Amino acid sequence: LRRADAIFIEELRKADLYDKVSQAFTVFLPVRSVGVMGDGRKYDWVVSLRAVETIDFMTAHWAHLPYDFLGRVSNRIINEVNGISRVVYDI
């Protein structure tokens, strides 16, 4: 989970999105899912990305992150973090 979160935050910084969201983090979901890795199937865990915008930290709205950014983060997590086969975005 720490590695997936580090990738998410690193990519937010590289895309100059880090200061545009109020809070961003990765959540481990206790769900397994089938994914494809190369020519084979992979049955592993799911993580959720969460980024929000807020002014008071009592209420928040999901951050509208670009699709290409989310795709890049998802691909990196699936390819670089052992045990993760799916990445979802929490809205």
pLDDT in tens, 39-84: 888 899 999 999 999 999 999 999 999 999 999 999 999 999 999 9
pTM: 0.91
pLDDT at site 40: 83
pLDDT at site 39: 85
pLDDT at site 35: 82
pLDDT in tens, 12-47: 999 999 999 999 999 999 999 998 777 888 899 999
* Three-state secondary-structure class, residue 19: helix
Number of domains in the chain: 1
Planar angle of CA 35, 39, 36, nearest 5 degrees:
10
- How many CA atoms within 13 Å lie on the side-chain side of 86? 16
Range of the domain at 84: 2-89
pLDDT at site 91: 94
| Position 7, amino acid | I
CATH number for the domain spanning 47: value is 3.30.300.10
